Amino acid sequence: MMVVTLERAKLHLEAWLDAELAVSQGQAYTIGSRSLTRANIAEIRKQIGFWEKKVDELEIAEKGGRVRRAKRFIPRDL
């Protein structure tokens, strides 16, 4: 398992936010006979969500707190 530091997570988050900005300014363009298509915006947003969550978890852990996780249970009478 890869250990990620808070600084590293913030760096990744910033990179994905920059990628979203670049894609939002033009998904694809053509110059002459050449064309460029940028990455998929849905994948970029998925990665932003992942890194935001990771940054939040690491900030909580750094402060000595616990990351709360919700679980759902369905009682069954067999």
Read off the pLDDT of residues 50-77 as tens digits, 9 standing for 90 and up. 999 999 999 988 888 776 667 788 888 8
- Predicted local confidence at residue 8, as pLDDT: 95
Please give the model's pTM, rounded to 2 decimal places.
Answer: 0.67
- Please give the average per-residue pLDDT across 3-24, as a whole number: 91
- Predicted local confidence at residue 70, as pLDDT: 76
- Predicted local confidence at residue 11, as pLDDT: 96
Q: Give 23-50 pLDDT, tens digit per residue.
A: 888 777 778 888 877 678 889 999 999 9
Give dist(CA 17, CA 36) in Å, integer.
Answer: 20
- Predicted local confidence at residue 12, as pLDDT: 95
